[in-house]
Amino acid sequence: MEKILEVKNLHVSFDTFAGEVEAVRGVNIDLTKGETLAIVGESGSGKSVTSKSIMRLIPNPPGRIKEGEILFEGKDLAQYSEREMQRIRGSEISMIFQDPMTSLNPTMTIGKQIMEGLRIHQKMSKSQATARAIELLKLVGIPNAESRLKQYPHQFSGGMRQRVVIAIALACNPKILIADEPTTALDVTIQAQILDLMRDLQDKTGTAIILITHDLGVVANAAQRVAVMYGGQIVETGTVDEIFYKPQHPYTWGLLASMPKVGDSGTELIAIPGSPPDLSDPPKGCPFAARCPHAMQVCIDHMPDATEVSGSHQAACWLLDERAPKVEKPEAATIGGAR
């Protein structure tokens, strides 16, 4: 499959009063046309910073891309000016943010907010943009689209507002859609509807999706490939089946073990002890070493390179070195009946 996006050796830092915070450290990901890649990890792992860096939405100062390439169709977005990025955002790459109420302007009608991008990027007339906005609202499942076009965000429910945000993101037929925790603020039944909607729209439009989430249940039902992120680095990548059924990194084991299993009501969840590393003073070695029950001295001293487990599966862990002791994956580190 043809790659539409390649992020190579991305380093992103923030300058704070306490010093430099290295939020993203050497991230490598790629995305092919029409696929969904999920980036998972706990809060503070660098997921959102990575996604916003792709859109060049990191405010400078205090943030900055120190190093790396963001190749979109072969062109390095890291070298683009703000004016050049304004032509990319919304038209070629769009983003759905976590809370629709902070994404929508409360003083503008829904119709005007959808039409804005169409008028700017597609150079549509007002009548053309209105017709397209109605079409988009129908596409994302909002009834009575003509009349609702004239309403304001507060007149919509949380799930409907998220649908509107998706409609705005899809207005100019982007090639990549970045969804940053798109279902976090929604209840479970609305979450399922939004994920079904995104899958259906992807089938119709062929848009590639980067899904940022900490919810492995969402990943199991929405993605083809997964990148596990921790301490500003990608520690494991693979297909959904490889990550859920054949995980290789102890951090991935911990994430899977901490997820509720079908039929295990009343069973105590297993938490990962300790806290994520302080990225104002990042560790020299594996970022997970301080919390890993299998850590060796080499894990503390040196960051391991990614080891290829299969053609589609890589993990950065010293346990995969042929000289390392053999460690069995914990029984709890399986997705069980989640899929």
Beta bridge mates, 167? none
Beta bridge mates, 227? 39, 237
Residue 172 has which token pair?
């100019």
For residues 228 and 243, what is the distance between their CA atoms, to the nearest angstrom?
Answer: 9
Q: Which fold has domain 1-86+178-339?
A: Rossmann fold (3.40.50)
Handedness of CA 229, 233, 235, 240 (dihedral sign): positive
Domains of the chain by residue range: 1-86+178-339, 100-173
pTM of the predicted protein model: 0.90
Spell 185-223 as b/e; 16+ CB within 10 A means b. bbeeebbebbbebbeebbeeeebbbbbbbbbbbbbbbbb
Q: How many other CB atoms are there within 10 angstroms of residue 21's CB atom?
A: 19
Q: Is 210 helix (H, G, I), strand (E, B) or coil?
A: strand
Q: What is the pLDDT along the chain (339 residues), one digit of tens a residue?
A: 789 999 999 999 999 998 999 999 999 999 999 999 999 998 889 999 999 999 999 988 899 999 999 999 999 999 999 999 999 998 999 998 877 777 899 999 999 999 998 998 889 999 999 999 999 998 888 999 999 999 999 999 888 898 899 889 888 889 999 998 887 767 777 778 878 888 888 888 889 999 998 888 888 888 999 999 999 999 999 999 999 999 999 999 999 988 877 666 666 778 889 999 999 999 999 999 999 999 999 999 999 999 999 999 999 999 999 999 999 887 766 654 443
